[in-house]
Amino acid sequence: MTHPVVRSTRRGLASWLPVLLLLIAPLAGATRSPAAAWAASDAEDAEPATSTWSVAPMPKAGGDQRTYFALTMAPGTAYSDAVRVSNLGEGSLTLDIYPADAATTPDGSFTAAPASEPALDAATWITTDVSEATVPPGESADIPFDIKIPPGATPGDHAAVVIASRLVEAVDENGARIAVDQRVGARVYLRISGPARPGLTVSDFKTDYGAPLYPFGDGRAKATFRVTNSGNITLAAKAALTALGPFKLKLGESGSLEYDSLLPGASVEGELEIEGVFPAFFVSFELSVEGTPLSEFEPMSVPPATAVAKVLAIPWLIAGVLAALIAALVWRRVRVRRSKRKRAAPKRIPRHARTPDGEPAPIADAVGAAPQSESRPPEASGADEPADPADGDGPATAKDAAS
């Protein structure tokens, strides 16, 4: 089972822009100051009256609906259009109208810069005809605006939002009254003619893998990373993680993590998980991030951004069994070789069983024969044996003859 960590976003949010911006407006534009706070004892009167509104591009002459503005313009040119503000509530609305630069949220979604931040990019090129509009309940108002691209505008994509906002009362988690800036707007994507350089980069790619003791256990891998739009084209991005073993054997893959709108220069963090990764001794985790430009502009190819991390994934149970088998085989081989050498080695002759010249002694001496006595050698028998003068049987000596 594989799944992405729940940090992804889904494409197709543009059609829900009015509702989405209404829901995120308290987070994106909420402000609190001492002048806007009331005592906690008055919290029961802090709920605002129900009021909702939407902002969308004014339909074209043929009645075609647009979810956002997507314009290709050259430096030094101008363009005029309008947004339609619709009051969906039961009471009259007075709304502030102004442009704001676009921004990318930490999870890769499109939003507007806080109202407290001054416009620095595309919002400085947009001028609305009015700064405030009052819309009766159930009716709409078309708000014209002009776009003038300066001669020195940099090529590539720029984005802004034409916003209709209103301060309303709310209650915070402590029960105190606060003023919340609720903002709803229409996106404006501008592509300035010139060299287009789409690109994505991956950085801070880190993996964490816990090899299970049992090889078919729950080997969970987690990867964290940062994706940056390093080009000059707004991109939607999709990241996926794959685990590969030896010989590129696929061990698992994650679900995809999607980013709705990465403006040029924007960076977002991501996290993906893969469950059930087999510990194949060496595991390679490959991250791939694919980018897609907005479909309203000229199509172009975007090289995927990749990152690879290799980890040592040891199946400890298998490794222990293999180590024991190897140790047993080595021990047996050593014993066999020692036994063979012992049988083939010649018998050693003791040092005392050698002659003074170092040669082996006769076998009788070597095996410990009884040593000869140092008495005189045995006398010869027969005629060769000299006669004993004491016996009187031998030849007479000269002394005997004289006698």
Same domain, 169 and 82: yes
Q: For 316-359, what is each residue's pLDDT tens digit?
A: 555 566 677 787 788 778 878 777 777 776 666 565 566 666 66
Environment class of residue 277 by beta-carbon count within 10 Å: exposed (0-12), middle (13-18) or buried (19+)?
buried
Q: Indicate the pLDDT class of residue 6, thresholds 50, 70 and 90.
A: very low
- pLDDT over 80 (residue 385): no
Same domain, 19 and 159: yes
pTM of the model: 0.66
Of 129, 125, 166, nearest to 148 (Cα)? 125
Most confident of 215-224, 240-249, 330-339: 240-249
Same domain, 187 and 218: no
Does 113 reside within a domain?
Answer: yes
Same domain, 173 and 58: yes
- pLDDT over 90 (residue 141): yes
Q: For 273-293, what is each residue's pLDDT tens digit?
A: 998 888 888 899 999 999 999
CATH code at position 106:
2.60.40.10
Per the structure, how many domains does the chain have? 3
Please tell me the predicted confidence (pLDDT) of residue 159: 97
- The SS3 call for residue 10 is coil
Same domain, 36 and 158: yes
Q: Mean pLDDT, to the nearest integer, of 143-153? A: 97
Q: For 32-75, what is each residue's pLDDT tens digit?
A: 222 222 122 233 333 444 458 999 999 987 777 899 999 999 99
Same domain, 295 and 323: no
Same domain, 329 and 265: no
Same domain, 33 and 178: yes
Same domain, 241 and 128: no
Of the candidates 130, 164, 192, which is a domain's last residue?
192
Q: Please give the residue range of the domain that contains residue 306.
A: 200-313
Does 39 reside within a domain?
Answer: yes
Whether the CB-CB separation of 134 and 166 falls below 8 Å is answered with no
How far apart, in Å, do the first and last CA atoms of the chain sit?
139
Look at the block and give the residue holding tokens 């001492």: 34
Integer angstrom CA distances of residue 388 from 32, 188, 380: 151, 152, 12
Instruction: Provide the sign of the torsion angle of the four alpha carbons 107, 109, 114, 117, taken in this order.
Output: positive
Give the C-alpha separation, 190 to 187, whole Å.
10
Element (H, E) at 158: strand 156-171
